[in-house]
Structure 1
Amino acid sequence: MWRTAAIVGVTSALWAAGKNGLSIGGFSLPQLSSLQLASVAAGIYITTGGYHTLWLAYMTLPRDLIAGYRYFKIMAKLKWALYCNTNLPKVFMENVRRNPNKVALIFEGQEWTFAQIDEYSNRVGNFLVEQGYKHGDTVALFMQNCPEYVCIWLGCAKVGLVPALINFNLRLVPLKHSVQIVDSKAIICGEDLQEAVDAVKDELSFPMYVSGCGNATLTLKGAKNLDPLLSASNPTPPPQIDSVSARDKLIYIYTSGTTGLPKAAIIKHYRYMFFCTAVHFMAGLRDDDVLYNPLPLYHSAGGMVGIGQVLVFSNTAVIRRKFSASQYWVEAKKYGCTVRVMFGNGVRPQIWEQFTARFNNPCIAEFYGATESISNIINIEGKPGACGFVSLLFRHAVPVYLIKIDEETGEAGEFVGVIKRNDPIRDFHGYADKKATEKKIVKDVMKKGDTAFRSGDILVMDELGYMYFKDRTGDTFRWRGENVSSTEVEGVVSKVAGNKDAVVYGVEVPGAEGRAGMAAIVDPEDELNLKAFTEGLTKSLPHYARPLFLRILKEIDVTGTFKLKKLALQKEGFNPSTIKDKLFYLDNKLGGYVELTDNLFNKIDSGRAGL
């Protein structure tokens, strides 16, 4: 692009000189007509290779102008909210005022209106203030998807409390860590998650509340039943809402990152509004759309992008306890969802066009952006396989870039976004853990002294500016729609296997999204008890994090600093015909690991194993 800039600069100078006349050293350049100047400029541009740039401009200008107009609408709404210091609950309450009886959420046949959500969340906020919780305190929220989940965290936000949205699949150490890392002052759990909280309650020294029990007796000893307490609480708007700023923390959303236990990303009010506003305008949604949102509400996709359409734009959303492929289209039709566009992230290029053809869907608005990331892009045209684009003509409008990393791995470039402090879009707020925040920042990227957010993702870009996801830089792989930290799983695997050396990595499985977990365990004496091992993993890890494949090694190579090598193991995969070590497969129907035979491998490889 430097050549293009030079050409444009020279051409512009000649244009000005030719239009006004120019005299240098006694030589006079005559004034030229606009047509003559245009011909000269075009000739210079084409003969210096600029014709290709003209073609690129022709191909991308309509897209960039549309995106620019939508981006202007996003910024106008966000800037106005910041100017008025409007927090998210106030935006929602304005929608309540305009549409009190409109259906906001549909859940298992139940319909919750905007007025009902407003009243329930008011009760939550007033109750927690009565209990002595103060502005800035964190309340851990550990529940499955339901309307009450949204109401509870919204009620917390109305009085300046910060709800930590914890993954309801977590157990034991990851659960305890997630609650403690944000300095929670209380935990609210769902009726069906009492057992999980009970397993760690001795290490948690704060009040516990249970939602969804009605008048039933609690099984979580020492906890309080939240339902009757809220029924007796004040349903009017809490006055504390006026002291909540647009720049205050709104929620914590957890991300596994590249290594270790879950990290709590800080989401402020205006950041939440930016996320859902960006998707609303960029994806071309309308306020009367009915959305189908079966994703976990503790994630940014379901809880911010999806629920945000309800809270900020008065959309109606259908939510469900857990995702079901068989019920997806059944419920979308049943509840009158307006399926004009599908938006999300992670659609494989190999199935993109098959999917749109099969379901007659006009557009997939694929977007890219981690919960805490400032490197956010979106594909507004349904370009197959692309997770977004950057403008070639207005390159610096959104300062995101690909930077080179270790070339020995063959990776194209890590996606980064330049940080601009106090900017509503470009500022990086980090995590509750300051050390984790520092690890995501790289310095001196585009110029000396600047800083950028490291996405940890490898992307490639084509000549039209479209970006395509390639891989992760760290030790995280994605399976069943969840980021899995191999470091975290390695610790559990090693402990359950009797503190044996172990490595965990993701392997590609034909026909399946993401990468399945595989553990290689050093067990030269064949001491591993598979039954006990399976039981240990079941107690300690959510289902998506349990290794689907096992490889039993006699020994494993280590680096000079005694780190276990796993890149070669990952490349070898799980084919028993090429691997001489013992291999096992986690058969959920049988409830444990079975030997991975050639016949079973062929079923998995051909997509007939029903993963």
Structure 2
Amino acid sequence: MLLLACFVGAVCLLITRGRRNFCWRNTKRLFRSGGLAAVAVRDALRFCSDILILVRLLLVLKVKAARVRGVDWSVADMFEEILYRHGDKPAIVVAETGSSTTYTQLDRRSNQVAYWALSQGLQKGDVVALIMPSCPDYVAIWLGMAKVGVCTALVNIHTKGPALAHAVRIALEQSKSHTPIVVVDRSLAALMDPDVLDALPETVRICVYGGEAEAGDISRDDMWSQIATMSQGSVPEGSRRGIMWNSPLIYIYTSGTTGLPKASKISHLRFFSSAVMFSVATRLRSNDRVYCALPLYHSSGGMLGVGGCWRARCTLVVRRRFSVRHFSSDCVAHRCSVVQYIGEVARYLVNSNETDLDQQCSIRVAFGNGLSPDVWRRFQQRYHVQRICEFYASTEGNVAMVNTTSKVGAVGVVPWFAAKLYPTLLLKMDPEGEELLRDSRGRCVPCQPGEVGQLVGLINDHDPARRFEGYTDSKASAKKIVRDVMLPGDLYFASGDLLRKDAFGFYYWVDRLGDTFRWKGENVATTEVAHVICGFPGIADVNVYGVEVPGTEGRAGMAAIALKESRQADELDWKRFFQHLNRHLPSFAQPQFLRVAAISSSTSHMTTTFKRIKTQLRKEGFDPTNIEGEALLLRDGVDRTFVPLSRHLYEAISDGSLRL
């Protein structure tokens, strides 16, 4: 009877579109109308399913936290539970080659890594940096480190120059070891150039993994050959003594809101909670195969994908780099029933030429974020996706939600009656959109349904679902905390993301706040890009921001450049400028558009009120009709330079015939 009452209540809530208009009269109308009832029942069941998933997620996490609190427990324990029954099952399959690594093989490889770490003098609490493409050994390395209490910093392989040096340095600063270690794949060893090494501690050791050692290369340790000599046997349990649920497992990098990459601290329990979220939301089965062409140094692939498969005892199919051409063939050849996506990946796929293999895909669930409504149905229909699970989460934050109802465009749901269970809020912003709006009492103002606001989550260090672990940089962590939001002394995590919600509690993505935008599935910190641009001769100042481009996800990078006195746009060597950007920035962070003027004529967007002016620059975008008196340039990846952006090129970009 209780379940029936809950069901009827949910149906009535959907029909009345909100609790304020609830009336039992609507229940009678519902059951008098068969067609309406059928639709309402379906939607109500989906809605209730989302709520049950939220409850189950929180329950599993709280029970696990209660069991491991005060005792030694790590992700290594979680992994080893798999071996008793599923050791011979493929853990990871490499899509390019079809090679398979079983759970037992992954365990043995990670044991070799653990023994190698001990042989190098690494101890509990130390940190190593890992720079490697997605592969089974990538997981084996950080798992092996975890078995002896060493934290692994998962460095983005597309990070270059000063940003790479910074990312490695802030990780190694957390290590107690006097000889900090960077593990780098041999194919990426060139990233550790002299400029990067000069910015690192003199005692740093570069340990190269994979392939054959190069003749005469004595400056770098050959970790690959050293590990091959190590024991594959179980690591002594004493090696994990003192590792607890809140000990750091890995660092994952995010640009945060401003500046160079920040290292987010991921504890063992945080990894477990991500695994629960993915496996429960997708209803993973042990016979599933999860296709992941996303990088394992990001949370989606490295935490949700890897951890979710562990928890369900199923197989992860990885590809080093996403390929539109190989997506369908991979899914068919490897019998993938679940796929992970980001919005840009899905858009690439639906805009590509259809193949016969598309019709042979049998995808039960697609799980990811950033899927825009115009792509949602096309993606689902083309690849026969039975269900799409769109989610919202931030690597460093304590707010996560998922939409398992297939409600197009929604990133999650937290209805009003679950607010106490999962305390998240949307808060109004001031008219300039930079600070939270507060009332006469100094409290923040919650948004009403349909209003856009910043998403925040209540912080409670005693609740594993509400903890904010933050960054390695305590000052950066402090900037993400908002105080006295609803009550004196309360603390909330400020996501920096703008969302809106409807009367049912479904949340919808709107935009990012601050000096960060997203392009090609990556976060771009404008201050980092601006620093690189200002390092080029002839440039006096720059303002970097993201602009919307029709038919794409996120925002493309654009830079308003002020040249030094007496300099004109046609006087700069744009080929050299292209090379300069390519040398110091990954491709996704390089601006696609430039608007250039002499410093004397660019004061309209080069003032001390940068944030307010940046809003206007975003509105003007890259439309030539909005920009007068300044040169407008487009990044030309073929000729490796910047060329004038004509009206013809603008229209080609806008209608999708010219892709960025």
Tell me, yes or no, if structure 1 residue 284 matches structure 2 residue 266.
no
| Alignment counterpart, residue 579 of structure 1, candidates 606, 609, 627 | 627
Q: Secondary structure at the match of 1:310?
A: helix
What TM-score, normalized by structure 1, do the two folds share?
A: 0.88
Q: CA deviation at 1:498?
A: 3.6
> What is the match of residue 428 of structure 2?
404
| Alignment counterpart, residue 529 of structure 1, candidates 562, 568, 573 | 573
Identical positions, percent: 38
> What is the match of residue 198 of structure 2?
202
| Alignment counterpart, residue 373 of structure 2, candidates 349, 358, 362 | 349
| Alignment counterpart, residue 618 of structure 2, candidates 557, 564, 570 | 570
CA distance in 2, matches of 1:357, 1:70: 29
Deviations 1:141-199 (A, max 9, x none): 01111111111111111100000000000111111111111215210001111111123
**Does the 8 Å contact 1:412/1:460 carry over to 2?**
yes
Q: For residues 102-181 of structure 1, what are the structure 2 equivalents within 5 Å?
A: 102-107=89-94, 108=96, 109-181=98-170
Q: CA deviation at 1:88?
A: 0.5
Tell me, yes or no, if structure 1 residue 188 matches structure 2 residue 151.
no
CA distance in 2, matches of 1:47, 1:510: 37
Tell me, yes or no, if structure 1 residue 325 matches structure 2 residue 312.
no
| Alignment counterpart, residue 420 of structure 1, candidates 442, 455, 460 | 460
CA distance in 1, matches of 2:368, 2:468: 22
> What is the match of residue 23 of structure 2?
51
**Does the 8 Å contact 1:188/1:209 carry over to 2?**
yes
Deviations 1:242-278 (A, max 9, x none): 4422221101001101100011000000010001112
CA distance in 2, matches of 1:135, 1:599: 60
> What is the match of residue 478 of structure 2?
438
> What is the match of residue 313 of structure 1?
312
Match for 1:553: what amino acid?
A
Q: Report the CA distance shift for 1:188/1:53 in structure 2 as closer, same or farther (over 3 A).
A: farther
**Does the 8 Å contact 1:252/1:267 carry over to 2?**
yes
Tell me, yes or no, if structure 1 residue 384 matches structure 2 residue 408.
yes
Q: For residues 92-107 of structure 1, what are the structure 2 equivalents within 5 Å?
A: 92-107=79-94
Deviations 1:322-362 (A, max 9, x none): 11122112101111111211111111122112221222212
CA distance in 1, matches of 2:580, 2:25: 59
Q: CA deviation at 1:83?
A: 7.0
CA distance in 2, matches of 1:382, 1:474: 30
Q: CA deviation at 1:367?
A: 0.8
Alpha-carbon RMSD across the aligned residues, in angstroms, is 2.4
**Is the deviation greater in 488-497 or in 258-267?**
488-497
CA distance in 1, matches of 2:264, 2:60: 26
CA distance in 2, matches of 1:498, 1:158: 52
Q: Report the CA distance shift for 1:459/1:218 in structure 2 as closer, same or farther (over 3 A).
A: farther
Structure 1 residue runs without a partner (length 5+):
1-45
CA distance in 1, matches of 2:19, 2:578: 68
**Does the 8 Å contact 1:195/1:219 carry over to 2?**
no
Q: Secondary structure at the match of 1:260?
A: coil
| Alignment counterpart, residue 592 of structure 2, candidates 539, 548, 551 | 548
Q: CA deviation at 1:71?
A: 4.2
Count, aligned residues: 565
Q: Report the CA distance shift for 1:352/1:497 in structure 2 as closer, same or farther (over 3 A).
A: farther
Q: Secondary structure at the match of 2:139?
A: helix
Deviations 1:478-509 (A, max 9, x none): 00100001111111111125442111111111
Q: CA deviation at 1:74?
A: 4.7
Q: CA deviation at 1:99?
A: 1.3
Q: For residues 245-260 of structure 1, what are the structure 2 equivalents within 5 Å?
A: 245-260=244-259
Larger radius of gyration: 1
Q: CA deviation at 1:429?
A: 1.1
> What is the match of residue 447 of structure 1?
487
Q: Report the CA distance shift for 1:219/1:352 in structure 2 as closer, same or farther (over 3 A).
A: farther
What TM-score, normalized by structure 2, do the two folds share?
A: 0.82
| Alignment counterpart, residue 472 of structure 1, candidates 499, 504, 512 | 512
**Is the deviation greater in 405-414 or in 585-594?**
405-414
CA distance in 2, matches of 1:574, 1:47: 44
Q: Report the CA distance shift for 1:532/1:219 in structure 2 as closer, same or farther (over 3 A).
A: farther
Q: Report the CA distance shift for 1:447/1:591 in structure 2 as closer, same or farther (over 3 A).
A: same
Match for 1:529: what amino acid?
D
CA distance in 2, matches of 1:341, 1:481: 20
Structure 2 residue runs without a partner (length 5+):
1-17, 28-39, 338-362, 435-450
Q: Secondary structure at the match of 1:533?
A: helix
CA distance in 2, matches of 1:278, 1:359: 24
| Alignment counterpart, residue 639 of structure 2, candidates 590, 595, 602 | 590
Match for 1:223: what amino acid?
R
